[in-house]
Structure 1
Amino acid sequence: MPMSSASDLSDDDRPLGASNGATNGRHHPNGNGHVPVQQAPSSSSDDEDMPLSSAPVPPPRMLKRKKPIYAESSSESSEDDTPLASSPAKLATSAAIPMPGAVQATTLPASSAKGKGKAKNNVSKAGVSDDEYGEGDASARKRATSSKPAKKKLKQETATASGSDDDKPTVTKKAPVSRKRKVKVESDADPSIKKPLVKKPRASKVKKEEAASGEEPKKAPKKSRKSKNEEANGSPTKGKGKKKEKKEEEEEEVFRWWDAGAHGDGSVKWQTLEHHGVLFPPPYEPLPANVKMKYNGKDLDLSPAAEEVAGFYAALIESDHAQDATFNKNFFEDWLTVLKTHPPRDGTKVAKFELCDFRPIFEYFEAEKAKKKAMTAQEKKDLKKAKDEQELKYTTCLLDGRKEKIGNFRVEPPGLFRGRGDHPKKGALKYRVGPKDITINIGHGVPIPVPNMPGKWKEVIHDNTVTWLATWTENVNGNHKYVFLAAGSSLKGQSDMLKFEKARELKKHVDRIRQNYNVELKSKVMADRQRATTMYFIDKLALRAGNEKGEDEADTVGCCSLRCQHVTLEAPNFIIFDFLGKDSIRYYNRVPVEPQVFKNIRIFKENKFDSDSLFDRVTTAGLNKHLQSEMKGLTAKVFRTFNASITFQRLLDENTLENATLQEKLNAYNKANREVAILCNHRKTAPKTHEQSMEKVRDKHRGLKYDRMKLRHVLFKMDKEYRKNAEYADDESDIDDDWIVTHEEALKAKEIEKAERKFAKENEKLQEEGKDLLQDSELRERIAEIESEFKALAEERGTQEAELKKERPEDKVVEAISKLTEKIKAFKLQMIDRDEGKEVALGTSKINYLDPRITASWCKIHDVPVEKLFSKTLLVKFPWALEVEEDWKF
């Protein structure tokens, strides 16, 4: 859920001293009677791409520096950590990129939209239209702001540029859709629909033909990659096992804001807005009377309010959080506050955390998890259906008459703050949020939503210059929480496109900006020299700008808030950075710098303590103000996005990938993505089970080699001349006799288990039909046959000859060996890619810093399905980018 917090920084040129106090915590038992050993904190995240701290940071040294200290030479290379320059590409004259073709990602059924209206698209040639919705005249604007636009029948016709009326929006025509024929709607924006996004064919040939004819392109029906007989627009589509469950509905025309020129002008965002508010979590249900935590060995009779908070901690007693002293300290302090208002009903005075035993509650929770896991598939399905029905009305809103999806409509339930990295407030209690805490934003004259729990909204406003639907302030850090539209909505898409276009615009100014700050590196004004040095680091190393932190916040820094202890000089021109960045991720980098930059850092560090600010004359606010003077809208984050995207574009262009396999192309893409993620310090801790999972992958790889070996032996028995062929030489050096025995025993166990399951399923079916059951002797015969087959395999060991259960011609065996060889090569590449990415979070840069049009264009050039690189979430988030031209460059 998006957060927002801001603080004004001082422009004072005086040195800024930073306190470095550490929060001391105590070790406490986690409920099992053992005193835990304090470990490095772990982050809790809903996103697998959330980076985690991978290495400890040494404590700061409080030493007075009279002269710069030079570290000994390090063997670490810095080549991968420095941003790579690229020559500027041609810029589009507008943020509106021509994107022909149909996109199903944001399709919504017409029957489900209130008012059953359709948004009309007006393709803008000038870029950002003054009219947010692409309508040209007053009557068109009136239609756009109506909550119930008139329906328009879809007709197949060809519209020419000369035949279009000025007072009517240009509408993309579709193939005819029969009114009597109901069709299934494919919508990747709907999480309940599991069908993958339809792959769009390459359009270069079609566009050439259309350009030659001089006609406006027709809306040609698209075919999916998986089935050429299924039309992507309007025709029935089939999903695996889901066709009976999906409702047949009429397809509604997609609001293609990127064609309509609706890119926003920074002021009015909408005309009408109607929604149902937010969904509050259910009230707390007390534990059964027989489930009680213990204090000093005796049952503790807690009130529901205190019991709920105790349950928050009990659920975590076997996690890394309960091993953290700061987490335990903050939880216990907040719990004692709750106990003062809601004391135990038996009069017990809770004073020491060490005497608390939360395990009875933990065991109850585990038992409930086991019950839920043991539910039948139908029971789980019914439970999910009931949940979906309860949430349905909160998932969408009406924005200017269009039905659009809402992203985070659920209010966070109360709990314990997990924090990221070494956060000083982890373990603090997050209060339950009610209607009295929430401000609702809706349009004028629409019904005020009714909360799903007792209470009245804090405030109801009608601000059409913002895009949030609801907001409140959480109690732990005082951050503002917002409810926004979903990632695939028009407003979010417009914001993303403008962000990346702003980064592209920087290409026109970056040479001048670099020239300016290089001159100021030698400025006699210390404030200007420091600012130029920070700009050098932000440009070359993609560092975040950084803000000042309070004593109750995590000690993370950015470029402007670096302290002397974070930067070490190493002759002749190396600088070593070592600090905690965003989310308490350690940033360690040894990089060569310009001689003048090296000299500046030496000057900035003179006569300062380790805890003193390195750039004591620079603030983030002042830096961004200067960047605005260099280019309108320029911030440190724009520089970061620019460097990430242009580096990614250059790295992809360096790979020719001629005659490369699909897996080789994917590896090249992921390698470029990794380099950008490292540049942006998007790192994570390797999963604890990584080596274990990699061993399973290696075992599967050896299993493929085993299958190839047996096929080779079959071929050798057919014709011994194949032994002399180098193509069939031994390629199983990592398969020894002991492994083969273990592998075959495991295969036999799987086959027997499979036979037993099949036998049981057949008897269940016979029982339902009222027929005689199969006898146990039938199962024993099947198992005996399996054991006989594997006994034959054991006899083949060492003979380099084998037989198949079912005979196949020689050419079919040769073909099977060839396919397995290719599969083994591809699997090996997957293993390498997986192992190299264990400590790098690829998703963060892909979501926030890499222009998605780079990926879309690259996929078209190299004939790679975009679904291989973009998750379903990203396909919904970036529909505007998927239709980019093949030759598009950042």
Structure 2
Amino acid sequence: MSREDSAMMSDDDQPLVANKPTANGSTVANGRSNGHVESDSSMSEDDMPLSQSIRDKSESILTPEPRSAKRKKPMYAESSSDDDTPLASSPAKPRTAASAVNGRKKATNGAAKDSDADDDYGDDTPKKPTKRPPRKKVKKQEPDESVLEDEKPPKKVAKGKGKVKAESADGASDGEDANANAKKPAKKPRAKKQPKAEPESGDELPKPKKRASKKKDTEENGSPTKGKKGKKEDEEEEEVFRWWEQDPNGDGTIKWQTLEHNGVLFPPPYEPLPSNVKMKYKGREVDLSPGAEEVAGFYAAMIETDHARDAVFNKNFFEDFKKVLEKHPPRNGIKITDFDLCDWRPMFEYFESEKAKKKQLTAAERKELKRKRDESEAIYTTCLLDGRKEKVGNFRVEPPGLFRGRGEHPKKGCLKFRVRPEDITINIGKDAPTPVPNVPGEWKRIQHDKTVTWLATWTENVNYNHKYVFLAAGSSLKGQSDMNKFEKARELKNHVDRIRLNYQSDLRSKVMADRQRATAMYFIDKLALRAGNEKGEDEADTVGCCSLRCEHVTLEAPNFIVFDFLGKDSIRYYNRVPVDAQVFKNVRIFKENKEDEDNLFDRVTTGSLNKHLNSEMKGLTAKVFRTFNASSTFQRLLDENSLEDKTLQEKLNAYNDANRQVAILCNHQRSAPKTHDQSMEKMRQRLRGFKYDRMKLRHALFSIDSAYKKDERYKADESDVDDDFVEEWEDSLKAKEIEKIEKKFAKENEKLEEEGKKPQNKSTLAERIQAIEDEFNRLAEERGTKAAALKRDRAPEKIEEAISKLDSKIKAFKLQMVDRDAGKEVALGTSKINYLDPRITAAWCRTHDVPIEKIFSKTLLTKFPWAMDVSEDWKF
């Protein structure tokens, strides 16, 4: 989906668009390898309730391998400003002082429920420790109220009143503070909080009109429709609950009155492998019990993936596998103690053969399997919410497997236990019937909480994350959450100027905590950094703004800061940006007397930052700032493009380019897909195929009238379509034609047999193949002659028209190739789904006559129905 960007922003308002981060460094592979993917990876941050438990350390783990690259030694500009002197609240760090945990206690919500069932793979689920051991040294904090010795702090005004701090009356900079001590400048009162502006025509929530027909809607709104739809589809459209027309802001407390559903769908029990398929140890077959065999199979299926070549993954898996073997020892008494002596190949080859069998199923067999699967899942796909049928999202409980993690996660390879009914809490209406699990067991708990939107929850055993079952993306509850999120970001337009003036004033505060907070807000606003939370030692070492360490930030004179750290999902964030002189000075002060592993902002936490932001605007958080900057930047980039008289592909490229710049700003990077080079080569071959068709048409014109050779439109030949390519291309075309004829012949005979008629002789097929051979022999004779005869005679005007269409097709395809290659290391979907207001896209499509189906997939159209009715002049 798209996030909105403010249409009109001054240069000072616009976030600094970072230089494109380099792709090297630690990045997470975008692929989801065969096996089971963590179900929470598909949840947006907004789906998680505030009560999400904090991951704690449960066992010793390997620390991530440090980067070998050294930070560039910082160089500072000379300055005599008082701000160059460290604040009194930041004393020199004692080299032998004991480290202290950075002020925050975190509650835990408990581990997953223990289970004694045989296939729970080993001992009881480890309990979460009640206290997390310290990760690193943190400086002892002095009172925040301390000030520079020669100057008192300015009087503070309550942030909630929205007043703006003033600098000295004559606008003196920090470098003039020494002179200003002689005479105190008059202080300007903070600017009054700006009242909410009257909504402009484009600022109001859309009130969609009742549509009599698709045709009428196209005429009124200027949005092209994909085509005519039947009566049945129109009737289904009318049955959609248009919640945004009735209650656009939703309910902040009670989410529903009645709720009825059928619980969750558990995976089927494990089916043991055939008796002749066994793993080997020291060359001997191991007779594993089903509980241990299942776990061994998880790893055997992955031995040719990158995971199996990862030392941490292998270590964690083998430690858990040995625990399972203690509970389920091999039945032939073999002791497995050395990972390197295990041979998983027999199991792997069996799994591969089963995959091959599935691929060989006929279309009818696959269709029948899908029908049976859909029938078994039908009761779980919907629920009754306030009497309405709504779709359920992730109703399947993920099966047991090995935890992949993202990036350099220290727990990758750990065993994920099988989830049972005893682990799951169900949320339903008080009068609703209790759902019956599809496997033996009883629910852990039944509750009737109308203030939450999840249907079921449990705690997984690896990271102790809470898993939730929510309604589908297109449901009313999800839609209200999405729309409220974007409306909150849009509301920030009315406050952002005042907030920026306030934090710019705080950049010179004499209170260390305020100065650090203002600097963090500057980075979040200008660079769209995530706020960041403290991480435990059993989690990947990823950071955000508030958790930056000194090693992540390098200063380069006169005013450049280099950021280099691992962000969310272990994606490397590298950015060298110019910053305000005061920000440069502040970062230098924050780094003084600290070691590389110390926090840059040792007096700011995500909680304290969000509390301050909430005082500036109700409901404002760092994430809202990020959404606002992404959407406002996107709106501005789209508005900067003049797309008059542009082709559809040129418009799509302009849209994707704006989306790509926002994705880079938000660090939505990814590793280039492994198949990218292969995909690009296929596109290049296809492009040359188009050129081959154009060449044949040109040569056909020349055969009709040699005067066409002097026509500038047809004079230039296709330089990359040489004789070798022509021969190779024609051979591939012939093979495809023969394969097509053979399939058609087989299908015709099947139909004849069904009708009780005599099938065709093979001689018929041979004749058809011979005709193809003759046609391509003729083409072979034409090579190098610059003359060609078409299969059927066409008038020169028709050939000219065909060449013109091919020219347009070639131009559009070249643009597609450029767009595909430019986006190989950028994840456009993340910003489109979570950070860009979808109404920006809907309005842009109406304005530029672009079918929205070209940009939004069917899933996204289902997710954002409330955004589709905006007018073409709507702006974020």
Question: TM-score w.r.t. structure 2 length?
Answer: 0.77
Q: Is the 8 A contact 1:95 1:501 kept in 2?
A: no
Equivalent residue in structure 2 for 1:614, among 600, 617, 620: 600
Per-residue deviation, 1:765: 3.9
CA displacement, residues 508-560 of structure 1 (integer Å, 9 cap, x when unaligned): 11111111111111111111111111100000000000011111110000001
Q: Which amino acid aligns with 1:334?
A: D
Quick check: 1:57–1:579 contact (8 Å CA) kept in 2? no
Task: Choose which of 680, 705, 709 in structure 2 pairs with 1:723.
Answer: 709
Q: How does 1:664-743 map to 2 (within 5 A)?
A: 664-743=650-729
- Tell me which residue corresponds to 1:145: none
Is 1:581 the counterpart of 2:582 in the alignment? no
Q: 1:305 to 1:70 in 2, by over 3 A?
A: farther
1: CA distance, partners of 2:670 / 2:236: 45
Aligned residues: 708
Equivalent residues of 2:286, 2:332 under 8 A apart: yes
Most deviating of 440-449 and 853-862: 440-449
Alpha-carbon offset, residue 605 of structure 1: 1.2
C-alpha distance in structure 1 between counterparts of 2:201 and 2:253, whole Å: 22
Helix, strand or coil at the partner of 2:564:
strand
- C-alpha separation in 2, matches of 1:551 and 1:358: 32
Specify whether residues 68 and 824 from structure 1 end up closer, same or farther in structure 2 by C-alpha distance, changes over 3 A only.
closer
- After superposition, the C-alpha distances for 1:117-168 in whole angstroms (9 at most, x for unaligned) are xxxxxxxxxxxxxxxxxxxxxxxxxxxxxxxxxxxxxxxxxxxxxxxxxxxx
1:514 aligned onto 2:500: yes
Aligned with residue 239 of structure 2, among 248, 253, 263: 253
1:304 aligns with 290
Shift of 1:350: 1.2
The corresponding residue for 2:485 is 499
Q: CA deviation at 1:347?
A: 1.4
Q: CA deviation at 1:613?
A: 0.9
Q: Secondary structure at the match of 1:306?
A: helix
Preserved CA contact (<8 Å) 2:532 2:606: yes
Structure 2 CA distance for aligned equivalents of residues 763 and 44 of structure 1: 42
Question: Are the structure 2 counterparts of residues 42 and 355 from structure 1 closer, same or farther at C-alpha, using a change threshold of 3 Å?
Answer: farther
Partner of 2:534: 548
Check whether the contact 1:61–1:610 (CA below 8 A) recurs between aligned residues: no
Q: Is the partner of 1:362 in helix, strand or coil? A: helix
The one-letter amino acid of 1:453's match is V
Partner secondary structure for residue 609 of structure 1: coil
The answer on whether the counterparts of 2:489 and 2:627 sit within 8 Å (CA) in structure 1 is: yes
1:686 CA drift (Å): 0.6
Select which of 424, 432, 441 maps to 2:427: 441
Question: Which residue in the other structure is 2:329 paired with?
Answer: 343
Task: Tell me, in whole angstroms, the C-alpha distance in 2 between the residues paired with 1:548 and 1:267.
Answer: 30
Contact 1:542–1:640 (8 Å) recurs in 2: yes
| Residue aligning to 1:333 | 319
Q: Which residue of 2 aligns with 1:794?
A: 780
Give the deviation of 1:62 after TM superposition.
9.4
Deviation at 1:774, TM superposition (A): 3.9
Pick from 643, 647, 668: which aligns with 1:657?
A: 643
Aligned position for 1:316 = 302
How far apart, CA to CA, are the structure 2 residues paired with 1:833 and 1:840? 11
C-alpha displacement at 1:295, in angstroms? Answer: 1.0
**1:204 equivalent among 201, 215, 220:** 220
Q: Residue 99 of structure 1 is aligned with which of 203, 207, 225? A: 207
SS of residue paired to 1:535:
helix
Structure 1 residues 89, 282: CA separation in 2 closer, same or farther (over 3 Å shift)? farther
Structure 1 counterpart of 2:305, which letter? S
- How well do the aligned residues superpose, as a CA RMSD in angstroms? 2.7
Aligned counterpart for 1:462 among listed residues 448, 452, 459 = 448
Counterpart AA for 1:382: E
Q: Which residue of 2 aligns with 1:872?
A: 858
Give the aligned residue type for 2:805. K
Cα distance in structure 2, aligned partners of 1:320 and 1:586: 19
Residue 226 (str. 1) matches residue 224 (str. 2)? no
- 1:57-114 Cα shifts (integer Å, max 9, x gaps): 9627899x9x84579xxxxxxxxxxxxxxxx99846999723324xxxxxxxxxxxxx
Q: Indicate if the aligned counterparts of 1:68 and 1:602 stay in contact, CA closer than 8 A.
A: no
- Measure the CA separation in 2 of the matches of 1:673 and 1:476: 35
Structure 2: distance between partners of 1:324 and 1:41:
13
1:693-842 mapped onto 2 (5 Å cutoff): 693-842=679-828
Q: Deviations over 1:729-763 (max 9, x none)?
A: 32512212211121112212222222333333344
CA shift in 2, pair 1:98/1:203, >3 Å? farther
Deviation at 1:205, TM superposition (A): 6.8
Q: Is the 8 Å Cα contact of residues 410 and 538 (structure 2) preserved in structure 1? A: yes
> Could you tell me which of 631, 634, 641 is aligned with 1:645?
631
- In the TM superposition, 1:416-431 aligns within 5 A as 416-431=402-417
Partner of 1:267: 253
Match of 2:4 in 1: none
How far apart are the structure 2 equivalents of 1:551 and 1:599? 32
Q: The residue matched to 1:348 in structure 2 has which SS?
A: coil
> Aligned partner of 2:327: which letter?
T
Query: How far off its partner does 1:223 sit?
Result: 9.8
Deviation at 1:376, TM superposition (A): 1.5
Distance of aligned partners of 1:737 and 1:355 in 2 relative to their CA distance in 1, 3 Å threshold: same
Output the CA distance in 1 between the equivalents of 2:604 and 2:664: 26
Quick one: which amino acid aligns to residue 386 of structure 1? Answer: K
- Answer whether contact 1:273 1:397 (CA < 8 A) is retained: yes
Match of 2:354 in 1: 368
Alignment correspondent of 2:462 = 476
**Could you tell me how far 1:712 is from its partner in structure 2?**
0.9
* 1:35-434 equivalences in 2 (<5 Å): 42=29, 45=32, 59=67, 68-69=74-75, 91=199, 97-101=205-209, 201-202=217-218, 204=220, 224-227=225-228, 230=229, 235-236=231-232, 253-434=239-420
Inter-partner Cα distance in structure 2 for 1:473 and 1:445: 26
Deviation of 1:693 after TM superposition, in Å, equals: 1.3
Say if 1:44 and 1:459 are closer, same or farther in 2 by CA, change over 3 A.
farther
Percent identical across equivalent pairs?
71
Counterpart CA distance in 1 for 2:432 and 2:753 is 59
Q: How far did residue 40 of structure 1 move?
A: 8.1
In 2: Cα distance, 1:835 partner to 1:520 partner: 43
Structure 1 residue 42: deviation in Å?
Answer: 3.9
Correspondent of 1:593 among 579, 583, 604: 579
The alignment partner of 2:383 has SS state of: strand
How far apart are the structure 2 equivalents of 1:701 and 1:89?
A: 53
TM-score, structure 1 normalization: 0.76
SS of the aligned residue for 2:588 comes to: helix
- Cα distance in structure 1, aligned partners of 2:828 and 2:364: 37
The amino acid of 1:381's aligned partner reads: K
Q: 8 Å contact 2:411–2:538 — kept in the other structure?
A: yes
Deviations 1:28-54 (A, max 9, x none): xxxxxxxxxxx9874653699999xxx
Distance 1:514 1:555 in 2: 31
Distance 1:69 1:401, change over 3 A: same
C-alpha separation in 2, matches of 1:50 and 1:585: 17
CA contact (8 A) 1:281 1:412 kept: yes
TM-fit CA distance, 1:788: 2.1
1:59 is aligned with what amino acid?
A: R
Selected match of 1:854 from 840, 856, 867: 840
1:223/1:614 CA distance change after superposition, 3 Å:
closer
Do the aligned residues in 2 keep the contact of 1:562 with 1:615 (CA within 8 Å)? yes
CA contact (8 A) 2:29 2:671 kept: no
Q: How does 1:527-566 map to 2 (within 5 A)?
A: 527-566=513-552
> Does the CA contact (< 8 Å) of 2:697 and 2:803 recur in 1?
yes
Structure-2 separation of matches of 1:570 and 1:664: 40
